[in-house]
Amino acid sequence: MGSMLSIFISLFLSDNLILIRENMTWNEALSYCREHHVDLVSITTELLQSWVTERAASATSSQVWVGLRFTCSFHFWFWIRSDAGCYQNWAPGNGSDSQQDCGIAGAVETTGRQQWVSLEENQRLNFICYKCSGDSGEGLIHL
Ligand SMILES: *[C@@H]1O[C@H](CO)[C@@H](O)[C@H](O)[C@H]1NC(C)=O
Ligand SMILES: *[C@@H]1O[C@H](CO)[C@@H](O)[C@H](O)[C@H]1NC(C)=O
């Protein structure tokens, strides 16, 4: 039963992520996703990470932007479309443990261990959006 549920969820999720193979800054990517699809993807579960990993494999840049942002004033990382997840996949030296500057955002590596890394937000990368399934507006993922 559990595995059937996760297969169902996997199919559902896989249909709701799209890799945009254009190079944009984090803010441009955010606007693009919101204008043409739903939003930059927020990776709050291991399952979502696995679908992001699969999409990211066909990127042309060596990292892809996701909806992971650092707030300089309050000094923490957060997903733009979710409560803070328990799931974490930071590369060593990245994330909350490290000393952070302003003007950074989170990306996923497209090769190797495909962990989360912090990059200057004006770097230009491919990115992954949630997209709507049909016109129902039900593309948002709540796991
Ligand atoms: C995006 O950047 C990568 C790496 O710099 C490059 O190989 C690729 O051709 C670029 N893609 C586009 C659409 O400009
Ligand atoms: C973040 O992770 C990447 C990939 O593992 C690594 O190259 C980089 O040095 C790390 N950043 C810091 C500040 O350690």
The mean predicted confidence, pLDDT, of the chain is 84
Looking at the domain assignment, is residue 22 inside a domain? yes
Looking at the domain assignment, is residue 143 inside a domain? no
Rounded to the nearest whole angstrom, what is the distance from the C-alpha of residue 8 to the centroid of ligand 1?
34
Number of structural domains found in the chain: 1
What are 18-31's pLDDT values in tens digits?
Answer: 999 999 999 999 99
pTM over 0.85: no
Of 138, 121, 120, the closest CA to residue 130 belongs to: 138
DSSP character at residue 119: E
Q: Is the CB of 123 under 6 A from ligand 1?
A: no
Parallel, antiparallel, or unpaired: how do β-strands 39-40 and 76-79 relate? unpaired
What are 119-138's pLDDT values in tens digits?
Answer: 999 999 999 999 876 433 34
Whether the per-residue pLDDT at 116 is higher than 50: the answer is yes
Mutate to test the pocket of ligand 2, among 77, 88, 94, 113 (most ligand atoms within 8 A of CB): 94
Looking at the domain assignment, is residue 99 inside a domain? yes
Whether the per-residue pLDDT at 58 is higher than 60: the answer is yes
Rounded to the nearest whole angstrom, what is the distance from the C-alpha of residue 109 to the centroid of ligand 2?
11
**Domain CATH number, residue 38:** 3.10.100.10
